[in-house]
Amino acid sequence: MLAAITIVPILVICIAPMFTGDFHLGTITDEMVPDGWKWNGNDMLMILGCFTVAQWSAVGWESAATYGAEYKEPSRDVPKALFSCGLMCLAMYFIISFCMYGALGYSEIHENGASTLIPVAKYGFGDTGGAVAVVLLIAGMVMIIQTAFLGTARTIQIMAREGNFPHIFSRTNIYGVPMYAMYFEAFIGFVVILAQITSSQILAVSALGFAIALAMCMMAFIKSRRDPRFKDVKRIYRAPSGRWQVPGSCASSRSSS
């Protein structure tokens, strides 16, 4: 519900300049590249950096897989959840940036910084729209914090359940919420705040953590394929094979028979 309350009004605010006459496609085409662009090695490196920023902006949608073991049919529901969230992020990233850049241009975006949504809202809905934009930005931040907080706690709980973390973090309340893992997260968060650790330091440590975690996953995959003890172990869910079958089709009828 929080996601819908946040995403739908933001889309309306971003698309509104296209109907009020404040959106100009020429702003995008004229400022597609900055002055002095030469398409050399440094400029191509800048493009790769832009892709990195785009990817980082969508980071988090893969947390849909965090709940994979709890889905009714993980082999089907995990890919559906991942593709749905990924496509939503891709669409939102394009629509919001396209509409904002066409309405404001580089100079106004640079001037407004993180509050770029406010002038766009004022174009379509006046000062009231600007106030609504502020509320939506706050709601969006709450949604991001909530998603990351619960998703990480769920990961800690699953690790504890599998024996890769202290068992106490696998405990949940009567509603199935991993409260001990969330308490641990909150404690770490307060330590970070009191230690005055900067966001750049957190990102640097996160990047190292991602590298270690991904390396462990790849090594575990190789181990599971090469070690005779794990070759025949049934996997709870796996990536789709690419051979989709429509229910009721001839292929599915033959396979079921």
pLDDT surpasses 80 at 240: no
Residue 108 tokens, joined: 């106004």
Q: Is 85 helix (H, G, I), strand (E, B) or coil?
A: helix
Residue 154 lies in a domain: yes
Range of the domain at 85: 2-197
pLDDT at 255: 40
pLDDT at 236: 65
pLDDT at 183: 92
Residue 229 lies in a domain: no
CA distance 190 to 139: 22
pTM higher than 0.85, yes or no?
A: no
60 burial (CB, 10 Å; 0-12 / 13-18 / 19+) is middle
pLDDT at 251: 41
pLDDT over 90, % of the chain? 3
pLDDT surpasses 80 at 172: yes
pLDDT at 242: 59
pLDDT at 246: 41
101 burial (CB, 10 Å; 0-12 / 13-18 / 19+) is buried
Residue 218 lies in a domain: no
Residue 217 tokens, joined: 């996953």
DSSP 8-class letter at 63 = G
Instruction: Give 245's pLDDT tier (boundaries 50, 70, 90).
Output: very low
Counting the structural domains of the chain, the total is: 1
Show Cβ contacts of residue 68 under 8 Å, excluding neighbours closer than 6 positions: 74, 77, 78, 236, 237
CA distance 119 to 252: 54
| Segment 121-139, tens digit of pLDDT | 887 787 787 788 788 778 8
| Segment 66-75, tens digit of pLDDT | 777 778 888 7
Give me the mean pLDDT over the 3-17 stretch.
Answer: 82
Tokens 């529901």 sit at which residue? Answer: 77
Chain centroid to Cα 71, Å, comes to 19
Residue 55 lies in a domain: yes
Residue 241 lies in a domain: no
pLDDT surpasses 80 at 148: no
pLDDT surpasses 80 at 97: yes
Instruction: Give 58's pLDDT tier (boundaries 50, 70, 90).
Output: low
pLDDT over 70, % of the chain? 89
Residue 10 lies in a domain: yes
pLDDT at 248: 42
Residue 225 lies in a domain: no
pLDDT at 42: 86
- For 112, other C-beta atoms within 10 Å of its C-beta total 15
Residue 61 lies in a domain: yes
